[in-house]
Amino acid sequence: MNNKHLTRSPFFSTLLILITVMTLAITHTSYAAGVAWPKEINLGYQKYGPLIVLKSTGELEKRLKEHGVTVKWSEFPQGLPMLEALNAGGLDFAVTGETPPVFAQASKGSPLVYIANEPASPQAEGIIVKADSELKNVAELKGKKVTVPKGSNSQFFLIQALAKAGLTWEDITPVYLAPADARAALERGDVAAWSIWDYYYAAAEIQLGTRTLTNGEGIVQNYAFYTSRRDFTDKYPELIEVVLDEIRKTDEWIKNKPVEAAEKLSTHVGIDAKILEKALHRSNFGLEYIKPEVIAAQQKIADALFAIKLLPTQIKVEDAVWQPKK
C-alpha cells in the first residue's frame, strides 16, 4: 500500500482524529494543572477565631508550599471593611460575622460568595454597660446613645434586641465606632451601652468589670462565615478545599484543647489568655458547608435590614452561595 492510499484510508482518518483528541486532552489537562494553584492567596482575618489560630500554626503555609502557593495574611479590626476589600479584589478569602456579608452582597456587582460557616454562637456577643450604670435592661436604652461597629453582626444583634424589648432602631441614638474607640467611649461615659462581639466582649467583662444587659441567646444565631469571590472559587476550587480542610483541623484542636489554644493565641496577638479562653468557651467550632437553614437565617437578616432602610437594596442570599464539588 503506498503512502497516498494510506492517507485516504478510513483507518488513517480515524487515527488522526484520535491523535488530535488526545493532544487536545493533554493540552487541556496541562492548562488545568497550570491554573489549579495561584502564586498567592490573601486571607483576611480579625484578632480572634480559627483563622488567626491557623495563621499562628503555619500549617496552611506547609500544606500549600508543595503547590507553589504563598500565603498572605491581612488583619482587619472588623468585618465590613474586610469584605469591602474582598469585593474590590484585594482579598481572596475572609472570615466575618453574619451581617457583613449581607451588606457586601448588596454592593453593586459584588463577587462575594459564602463558602462555609461555623456553628451558631449566640452567647459570644452582648450589650454591655459600665458596672455602675443605672440601666438594668434593654428597654431602658430608649433615648440613649449606644455604640456599635457599623455593618457588624453586633448591629443586627442590637436591632433584634431592641425589637424584643419593644423598641425600634429610631428609639436610640446609634454611635458608630470601631471596637477600640467604642470601648474608650463606654469607659468615658460618652455612650450608655456598647453592643459588641468576642473577644472584645470578654475583655470588657474581665478588664472593665462591665455588666451585660443581654447576650444573643434567643435573639440571634451569630454565625461566623467564610467568604470568597466567585471568580476565585471558580478558578481555584481545589485551593478552597485545602483551606477549609486546614480550618476544620484547627477547629477540632480548639474544641479539644481550648486552654492550650487560648495560650497559643495569647502569645501570638498579645491578649490575656484568660480573656481568649472565656471567649473560646462561648463560641462553637466545627466548619460546615452552607445549609438551607443557614441561608434562611441570612435572608432574615437581609430582609430585616432592608425593611428599616439600612440595606440599600433587596438581595437573595442563596444567589451568593458557593456549591462545592461533591
Give the pLDDT confidence of 84-136 residue by residue, as tens digits: 999 999 999 999 999 999 999 999 999 999 999 999 999 999 999 999 999 99
Calculate mean pLDDT across residues 199-211.
97
Question: Would you state the pLDDT for residue 4?
Answer: 46
As given in the structure block, the three cell numbers for residue 127 are 450589650
Give the pLDDT confidence of 260-319 residue by residue, as tens digits: 999 989 988 899 999 999 999 999 999 999 999 999 999 999 999 999 999 999 999 999
The position carrying cell 451585660 is: 212
Predicted structure pTM score: 0.86
Calculate mean pLDDT across residues 136-150.
97
Q: How far apart (Å, rounded) are the C-alpha atoms in residues 34 and 31?
A: 5
Q: How far apart (Å, rounded) are the C-alpha atoms in residues 76 and 82?
A: 6
User: How much is the mean pLDDT over the chain?
Assistant: 90
Q: What share of the chain is helix, strand, coil (3-state, %, to 5)?
A: 50, 15, 30
**In the predicted model, is pLDDT for residue 8 greater than 50?**
no
DSSP H or E run through 118: strand 112-118
Pairing of strands 40-45, 173-176: unpaired
**Conformational region of residue 89, where left means phi above 0, alpha means psi within -120 to 50, and beta covers everything else:** left
DSSP assignments along 235-269, one per residue: H-HHHHHHHHHHHHHHHHHHHH-HHHHHHHHHHHH
76-107 exposure pattern, b = at least 16 Cβ within 10 A, e = fewer? bebbbbbbbbbbeeebbbbbbbbbbbbbbbbb
- Model confidence band, residue 11 (pLDDT cutoffs 50, 70, 90): very low
Bridge-partner residues for 195, per DSSP? Answer: 127
Closest to 129 in 3D by CA, of 221, 199, 205, 56 = 205
Q: How far apart (Å, rounded) are the C-alpha atoms in residues 70 and 61?
A: 7
The position carrying cell 467550632 is: 285
**In the predicted model, is pLDDT for residue 33 greater than 50?**
no
Question: Would you state the pLDDT for residue 324?
Answer: 85
The position carrying cell 471567649 is: 279
Pairing of strands 112-118, 288-289: antiparallel
Calculate mean pLDDT across residues 188-206.
97
**In the predicted model, is pLDDT for residue 56 greater than 60?**
yes
**In the predicted model, is pLDDT for residue 38 greater than 60?**
yes
